[in-house]
Amino acid sequence: MEETVGIPMDEPVALSPQPGPIPAADALKKREQSYKLPGVKKDIEKLYEAVPQLSNVFKIKNKIGEGTFSSVYLATAQSQEGLEEEIALKHLIPTSHPVRIAAELQCLTVAGGQDNVMGVKYCFRKNDHVVIAMPYLEHESFLDILNSLSFQEVREYMFNLLKALKRIHQFGIVHRDVKPSNFLYNRHLKKYALVDFGLAQGTNDTKIDLLKCVQSEAQQESCSLNKCHEIPGNKIAVGGSAPKDLDPQATTKPARRPCANEQNQTKHGKDGKEGSVGLSVQRSVFGERNFNIHSSISHEGPAMKLIKHSKTVDVISRKLTTKKKPISTKVTTGGVIKKTASSGSVHLTCDCYATDRVCSVCLSRRQQVAPRAGTPGFRAPEVLTKCPNQTTAIDMWSAGVIFLSLLSGRYPFYKASDDLTALAQIMTIRGSRETIQAAKAFGKSILCSKEVPAQDLRKLCERLRGLPSNTPKLASDAQGLASPNLAFSEKTDHKSQVQHPENSLCKGDHNGHRSGSGTCTTNSEGWDEVPDEAYDLLDKLLDLNPASRITAEEALLHPFFKDTSL
């Protein structure tokens, strides 16, 4: 990773490489020929227009990622030694809050650049357009390689993820969006990088000054709830409804990152369909399109792929609704009831008038407590229940969910479009009694319609991993939410969406890079004797109680890593 450079935000700046001449017309033409998607070409042109100084330094080659809050491009620059350097340009959406942008940049400049935390090279701004230039790390798509990783690779992946988390936690940064698409992994080079501090928050003693200005969303929410309580006879009740469409293109644009001191939000969405209360723009489970050239996904039309993804979500939730008695959960804090059924269907109630309807006052407030930023499937129980004191432990939970995917071969493991569905899914793995007990410890009371036992993690993972990917048993065998088969994500679904993960290894990837040992046999390596330590670490990461959950520093010293010279 490169050295970090701190750049003032007031002026458009580029430290190095030295600005070169504006690319000649024929060079431009050449560049255009390499564009894969017609839309991408337009986007690149727009970016040059919005931030003209980029063209002095970079040749933008392609778009490599697009999320709700940014678009990321691959560019090249001439280094001072005259070498061509690959750079990732993150163009933040212009509606991003300036403090939020500055905080993201400060995380990268202060904590980044070592221990698997992405650094920053330059930053450019013109008007409300900000572009962060980072060293480019070519990376694999998690889904593509998940089932071809050797057990040793999984161990290394986790070790390196924990190393990055230890680093940022030392700086009092809570990342809050730890998931595979934010942890870049180059299997060939064995390089890793934690990216995307767009949702980061500071601990009480954070060393990142600007994070002190970024108020936690839980605080914001408890404020808005408290405000609500001041109105006599009115309490909020919200259904944890699933957004109908997970296609980020269909969701609010311009969206807006959570930002400092915004409490009474205005809608940013055009149609108001999304819970677009400033701080509450939800980043869907598939909110990031990855155009990474390593990914087989990039060979499909991205819009098409996303539609398929969102369909899959529907299928899964429909599967859940077919059960006679879906598990339903309520989380209460001071009389406010949030109610949902894991079916994902909308059940709005409030307890203002003792009816099973939501009153007009509460209905009008619905936007205030709509699903917020983050990815439900990776959110810790204390986040899902909106515990106001959130610590670095929430990132450890997310690391646990990634580990669960790695050990079970299922991704995403928890596929929930809203918080309470995610909580219900957690209960089916960790046990309802256990979850309720833990929530009590952080001051939340959860009501659950059905008792489900905790699963044995080894049995669960072995069962999920051991099943042939195309077995029809898995889907049909999902008896109830308590069934260990229900990993909320099934291999059979992946198969219909994208190239089957196991194939990617056999074929090699599209750049001719060899993954692992370059053979199809890698994936069984080590999997027949997964040590107990692996499941012990998983158990400690997925500790329902944040107060006792293992820290990154402790996890690195866990016996699971003892034999690894990393």
The CA distance from 198 to 257, in Å, is 7
Q: What angle do CA 107, 113, 117 make, to 5 degrees?
A: 65
Considering only residues 377 to 436 of the shown chain, the ones binding Mg ion according to CB under 5 A are none
Nearer to ligand ADP, 117 or 427 (CB): 117
Span near ligand ADP by CB under 6 A; candidates 146-154, 178-186, 495-503, 506-514: 178-186
177 carries an active-site annotation:
yes
64 binds ligand ADP (CB under 6 A): yes
Per the CB < 8 A criterion, the answer to whether 558 and 543 are in contact is no
Interactions with ligand ADP, residue window 126-145 (CB under 6 A) = 134, 136-137
The reply on whether position 184 binds ligand ADP by CB under 6 A is yes
Neighbours of 295 (CB within 10 A): 24
Would you give the binding string for ligand ADP spanning residues 511-550, x where CB under 6 A is met? ----------------------------------------
Angle at 378 between CA 166 and CA 391, to 5 degrees: 45
Backbone φ, ψ for residue 338 (5° rounding): -110, 130
Amino acid at 323: K
Q: Does the protein bind Zn ion through residue 193 (CB under 5 A)?
A: no
d(CA 280, CA 369): 8
> Which of these ranges, 114-122, 260-268, 345-353, 369-377, lies near Zn ion under the rule CB under 5 A?
345-353
Q: One symbol per residue from 147 to 186: x for binding Mg ion (CB under 5 A), - otherwise; what is it?
A: -----------------------------------x----
Residue nearest to Mg ion (CB): 196
User: Which of residues 62 and 241 has its CB atom nearest to Zn ion in the complex?
Assistant: 241
Tell me, residue by residue from 347 to 376, as one string, x for binding to Zn ion by CB under 5 A and - for no binding. ---x-x------x--x--------------
C-alpha R_g of the chain? 23
Edge-to-edge strand order for the sheet containing 445-448? 237-239, 336-341, 328-333, 445-448
Q: 70 touches which of Mg ion, ligand ADP, Zn ion, none (CB within 5 to 8 A by kind)?
A: ligand ADP
Written as six digits, the tokens of 552 are 């990154």
For residue 443, give both structure tokens.
């001051």
Pairing of strands 191-194, 173-174: unpaired
Q: With respect to Mg ion, which residue has the nearer C-beta, 17 or 135?
A: 135
Task: Choose the catalytic residue: 144, 177, 419, 543.
Answer: 177
Write a three-state SS string for 6-54: CCCCCCCCCCCCCCCCCCCHHHHHHHHHCCCCHHHHHHHHHHHHHCCCH
- Considering only residues 261 to 320 of the shown chain, the ones binding ligand ADP according to CB under 6 A are 288, 290, 292
The answer to whether 72 contacts ligand ADP (rule: CB under 6 A) is yes
Burial class (CB in 10 A: 0-12, 13-18, 19+), 50: middle
Q: Whose Cβ is closer to ligand ADP: residue 265's or residue 290's?
A: 290
Report how many residues bind Zn ion under the rule CB under 5 A.
Answer: 4
Please give the Cα distance from 494 to 278 (Å, whole number).
Answer: 33
Q: Interface residues with ligand ADP (CB under 6 A)?
A: 64-65, 67, 69-70, 72, 88, 90, 118, 134, 136-137, 181-182, 184, 195-196, 198, 288, 290, 292
Residues in contact with Mg ion by the rule CB under 5 A:
182, 196
- Which residues participate in catalysis according to the annotation? 177
